[in-house]
Amino acid sequence: MTSPAAPRWYVVHTQPHGESRALANLLRQDFAAYLPRYRGRRRHAGRVDDVSKPLFPRYLFVAMDIAQQRWRAIQSTFGVSHLVCRGDEPAAVPDGVVEAIRAREDDKGWIRLGTAASLAAGAAVRVLDGAFADRLGLFEAMTDDARVTVLLDLLGRRVRVALPAGSVVAA
């Protein structure tokens, strides 16, 4: 007798802003589901708040054995748009992908993005958005997990500017 196949991870496409609702409903149906989130910033009414945002908007992962579980029930779950399929069968996520994402979680369960973590001091960077969009500068350092300091040439001299980490990329 053959042993049952181990559960594999599959991708669920959710309704707009329905990730949390889909996750709760999948968990209630005894599916193993995972919604990776990161810490984002929200500015509203002059305040900046940390908020939990989905790493992949409108997508989450569900682990199941499609030979044993009634996976078609996922298609009619509240918050779910559809299960990502290849033909008539759900398309499995390559082995190790979800585990690699989970390995980047901090103690609060948020994914560490580290966009600027791979930059070395003095590396050329380009600002993506904000008042300094499209300006070139030099990466100086990470100030915390969400901000970087960059040296920009402004008015004929180098000025140190603190920016959100997601606002700079290697030039």
Give residue-wise pLDDT tens across range 113-156.
655 556 778 888 888 887 888 889 999 887 766 778 899 988 77
Residue 92 lies in a domain: yes
Report the first-to-last Cα separation within the chain, whole angstroms.
57
Q: Which residues make beta-bridge pairs with 169? A: 126
Grade residue 1 by pLDDT with cuts at 50, 70 and 90. very low
Cα separation values, 154 from 85, 135, 168, Å: 51, 10, 17
Average pLDDT of the segment spanning 12-25: 95
Q: For residue range 100-110, what is the model confidence (pLDDT) as tens digits?
A: 889 888 888 88
Same domain, 21 and 93: yes
Question: How confident is the model at residue 114, as a pLDDT?
Answer: 59
Query: Which of 108, 112, 103, 124 lies closest to 168, judged by CA?
Result: 124
Question: How confident is the model at residue 90, as a pLDDT?
Answer: 92
Question: How confident is the model at residue 115, as a pLDDT?
Answer: 53
Cα separation values, 28 from 31, 33, 81, Å: 7, 10, 17
Cα separation values, 163 from 128, 135, 137, 147, Å: 10, 12, 12, 5
Same domain, 50 and 98: yes
Same domain, 40 and 16: yes
Same domain, 78 and 18: yes
| Coil, helix or strand at residue 13 | strand
Domain of 135?
A: 124-170
Indicate yes or no: pTM above 0.75. no
Grade residue 73 by pLDDT with cuts at 50, 70 and 90. very high
Given a cut of 90, whether residue 63 has pLDDT beyond it is: yes
Same domain, 81 and 38: yes
Same domain, 51 and 134: no
CA separation for the pair 161, 159 (Å, rounded): 6
